[in-house]
Amino acid sequence: MADASLEVGEAAGGADAEPQNTADLTAFITNLLQQMQSRFQQMSDSIIGRIDEMGTRIDELEKSIGDLIQQSGVDEK
């Protein structure tokens, strides 16, 4: 039972760790939003890079298929 009362005390103490005024809260939220923006930008850049790479690979595949068709003498129509 002593553990349960300790947990309740810790929970109450944890509430005291919250920002005490609007300036602290504003700074916390601003920092959080900046971190989120940075993460989303990194993910966006990564996705765009992968899409560009896929486009390049598709172009190379189309060229290879065209070359194979030309070598085989098959009409594309």
- CA 10 and chain centroid, separation: 34
- pLDDT tens-digit readout, 29-73: 999 999 999 999 999 999 999 999 999 999 999 999 999 999 998
Q: What is the pLDDT of residue 36?
A: 98
Largest CA distance in the chain: 86
pLDDT of residue 18: 63
Question: For residue 42, what are its two tokens?
Answer: 């990194």
List, in sequence order, every beta strand (DSSP E) within 13-69.
none
Highest mean pLDDT, choosing among 17-21, 24-28, 55-59, 68-72: 55-59
- Picking from 76, 57, 56, 54, the residue whose alpha carbon sits closest to that of residue 66 is 76
Cα–Cα distance measured from residue 35 to residue 72, given in angstroms and rounded to the nearest whole number: 55
The tokens describing 25, both together, are 């809260």
